[in-house]
Amino acid sequence: MSVPAIIKIIDLHKSFGNLEVLKGIDVTLGESELVFILGPSGSGKSTLLRCCNRLEQAQRGQILFDGTDILKPDTEINAIRQQIGMVFQSFNLYPHLSVLGNICLALRKVKKFSKKQAREIAFHQLERVGLVDKSDNFPSELSGGQQQRVAIARALALDPKVMLFDEPTSALDPELVGDVLGVMKDLKNSGMTMLVVSHEMRFARSAADRIIFMDGGNIVEEGPPEQMFDNPQHQRTRSFLQQVGY
């Protein structure tokens, strides 16, 4: 890769008790790259994503973000987290706050913006995901797809350098998936760096720059989408793609 790396994961190990779920992972994420992680459930892909935000604590290895190792205990993790946006499978919107309140909370409390500034940013991001008219609604009044778009706006509002997506569409009804993928596609076109765990194969093929296939806590193979889908090198990749019907 010739583009400068934003995230560089080096020999990452993570265990839950005796169960080793990441067995030495190396990934480099270049600027404006969209990297897709595929793999069967239990392959460790979600754990890998959560380690990048230190929601999970890895035991060994390094994750360099802009050259800083975020795994070091003395790293200002809350400062780094603002620059790494995260979108969850189950949205995790705050049910006691309005859409605007959800987006403004970190802007006000972490970035210390004034109320007016925070609202401006929030509206700008809501415009981006097409939900300006829902600003005063509460999460329970929105559809799943709308909630996930608000969650994306909440992460984008902090002006992150990279966005992590943890199965963003798998809790959605099929007819709502398209809106969320559309927002992600727009993001990609605007040059956002993204690391995505998802089962949306068609989206992976059309939007990803690179695809990583994980199984059993290891990276089995990686490459551009055409190669991964049309000519996978490993038996395990082939059987996975067959299983998901691709």
Q: List residues near another protein by CB under 8 A.
A: 53, 55, 78-82, 84-86, 88, 90, 92-96, 105-106, 109-110, 151, 154-155, 158
- Residue nearer to another protein on the CB measure, 37 or 228: 37
Amino acid at 103: I
- Residue nearer to another protein on the CB measure, 79 or 244: 79
Min separation Cβ 143 and another protein, Å? 18
- Residue nearer to another protein on the CB measure, 95 or 174: 95
Min separation Cβ 83 and another protein, Å? 8
DSSP strand pairing (19-30 vs 5-16): antiparallel
Q: How far apart are CA 149 and CA 90, in angstroms?
A: 12
Min separation Cβ 102 and another protein, Å? 9
Min separation Cβ 183 and another protein, Å? 18
Min separation Cβ 207 and another protein, Å? 23
Q: Compute how many other C-beta atoms are within 10 angstroms of the C-beta atom of residue 74.
A: 6
Helix (H, G, I), strand (E, B) or coil at 15: strand
To 10 degrees, what angle do helices 115-128 and 144-156 make? 130
- Surface-to-core class of residue 244, CB atoms within 10 Å of its CB (0-12 exposed, 13-18 middle, 19+ buried): exposed
Report in angstroms the alpha-carbon separations of 64 from 8, 27, 36, 116, 211: 5, 10, 19, 34, 20
Establish how many alpha carbons lie within 13 A of residue 244's alpha carbon, considering only the half-sphere containing its beta carbon.
16
- Residue nearer to another protein on the CB measure, 92 or 218: 92
Min separation Cβ 48 and another protein, Å? 15
- Residue nearer to another protein on the CB measure, 44 or 139: 139
- Residue nearer to another protein on the CB measure, 109 or 234: 109
- Which residue stretches of the chain are H helix? 45-51, 77-83, 99-109, 115-128, 144-156, 174-189, 201-207, 225-230, 235-243
